[in-house]
Amino acid sequence: MSAPLWIPTRRAGLDRLAAFLPRAGRTYARERNVDRGPEDRANVSALSPWIRRRLITEEEVLAAVLARHGYANAEKFIQEICWRTYWKGRLELRPSVLTRFDDERIALEARLAEERELARAVERATAGETGIACFDAWARELLATGYLHNHARMWFASVWIFTLRLPWQIGADFFFKHLLDADPASNTLSWRWVGGLQTRGKHYLARADNIRSYTEGRFDPRGLLSEDARPLPDEGAPPPIVPLPPADPVPHETVALLLTEEDLHPESLGIECDVCAVAALASPPIAGAERPAARFGAGAIEDGLRRATAHFDARCDGVLVDGDALLAWARGCGARTVVTAYPPTGLIARELARTEAALARDGIRLARIRRAWDDAAWPHATSGFFAFKERIPKLLDRIAARTSNA
Ligand SMILES: Cc1cc2nc3c(=O)[nH]c(=O)nc-3n(C[C@H](O)[C@H](O)[C@H](O)COP(=O)(O)OP(=O)(O)OC[C@H]3O[C@@H](n4cnc5c(N)ncnc54)[C@H](O)[C@@H]3O)c2cc1C
């Protein structure tokens, strides 16, 4: 299981989980920070592309790990899964952070068109041509595979911001375009955390001896890194917390089911009514269909459609390219309710919000079903992870209760 095979199906995700499970306990806690390179990922799960799309869900990963190792032995791995839940909740409660990021990124792209020197520096960084061997190797690895070890992501972002002095928003966008697990919450908020914007005044500085040690000597950027840089300038007051919008109840009437890359396990969404048709809304296009991330996303949607049509014994209406195609489909699909998994803050949520009013004008309701896990966890992501972490045992009780009732 060393070099992951990135096969975009639920089956492949479950196989990867089964293969990793024996190492998810104390072995993971001991070895997880080591980046041995793309050919050896045995010390981490490499499950993020599947978890990101909920081809496999956090709850089922946690249930499997708890059953195998118990809480005390698997605490570290459980916490990492919960980091994802935390970031999702954190952004859900402060969606304006993403709006601000998008505005700043767009403004910076305009600046790149004007400032040739800056544009060339970004080109060198994203092509892996800076002359800092570790950084260049990570850039090339990301382009070729779509995956980077967590520690490499931290080092990369830190070198980008503090050594190369490039705008963090352009780096976050580079990650977002190429990561197989690209996620608006985990990615944007992690870049902010590295820069010192997320936990105010606390930034992450990549250090040469740390890189040498945790790459087991593969890299040694001694003398090349800014190891005493200051955090990025403070942004002022943090954005206000907005309460979670209410989720919709699971419908009882006949529905049409809409899949998105936000959640591709509709079998566990709690839908028990008749499903007459299934379609998937494609994620808004990002240039470069040949990127590994684009291939993984398209394959994952195909897998979701295949499973959903079999599970619900429904017609498959294929992939809808945008909200207008969704509208046309919904009008003719034979149901007055389109049900979908709740889309967290991001591009899909925006596209659905854009289409909802037009659907309503035609008497079609969009029902967003939120998972009980998210409902239980997200409201607690109000401050730092430390406070959130205290809630983990209670969250896990839910899983234990469900497992014992099953
Ligand atoms: C700058 C930066 C950008 C990142 N961008 C993303 C992103 O777009 N999408 C993404 O899923 N993760 C992101 N991460 C978090 C983390 O690096 C990846 O989740 C992890 O490396 C995935 O590899 P894995 O599955 O082998 O993780 P493992 O170590 O095996 O962890 C198990 C699972 O826990 C979750 N997880 C672990 N660490 C984190 C973390 N720090 N934050 C959130 N979830 C975590 C993931 O779902 C992961 O699959 C980012 C981290 C940094 C520093």
pLDDT digits (tens, 9 = 90+) for 325-345: 999 999 999 899 999 999 999
Q: 3-state DSSP: the chain helix, strand, coil percent, rounded to 5?
A: 55, 5, 35
End-to-end CA distance of the chain: 31
Tens of pLDDT along the chain (406 residues) come to 567 789 999 999 999 999 999 999 999 999 999 999 999 999 999 999 999 999 999 999 999 999 999 999 999 999 999 999 999 999 999 999 999 999 999 999 999 999 999 999 999 999 999 999 999 999 999 999 999 999 999 999 999 999 999 999 999 999 999 999 999 999 999 999 999 999 888 999 999 999 999 999 999 999 999 999 999 998 888 888 999 988 899 899 999 999 999 999 999 999 999 999 999 999 987 777 779 999 999 999 999 999 999 999 999 999 999 999 999 999 999 899 999 999 999 999 999 999 999 999 999 999 999 999 999 999 999 999 999 999 999 999 988 777 665 5
- Which residues form the pocket of ligand 1, taking CB atoms under 6 Å from any ligand atom? 32, 44-48, 51-52, 80-81, 83-84, 87, 149-150, 153-154, 157, 175, 179, 181-183, 186-187, 190-191, 194
Q: Is the pTM of this model over 0.95?
A: yes
* DSSP codes joined into one string, 225-258: S--SPPPPPP-SSPPPP-PPPPPPPPP-S-EEEE
Closest atom of ligand 1 to 156 CA is: 1
CA 163–ligand 1 middle distance (angstroms): 23
CA 110–ligand 1 middle distance (angstroms): 30
Of 385, 387, 401, 372, the closest CA to residue 66 belongs to: 401
Domains of the chain: 10-92+377-405 (1.25.40), 98-214 (1.10.579.10), 255-369 (3.40.50.620)
Pick from 84, 88, 347 the residue to mutate for probing ligand 1's pocket: most ligand atoms within 8 Å of its CB.
84
Predicted confidence at residue 102, as pLDDT, reads 97
CA 154–ligand 1 middle distance (angstroms): 10
* DSSP codes joined into one string, 65-100: HHHHHHHHHHHHHHHHHHHHHHHHHHHHH-THHHHH
Strand order in the sheet with 365-369: 315-320, 275-281, 255-259, 337-341, 365-369
Q: How far apart are CA 221 and CA 132, in angstroms?
A: 7
CA 48–ligand 1 middle distance (angstroms): 6
Predicted confidence at residue 405, as pLDDT, reads 59
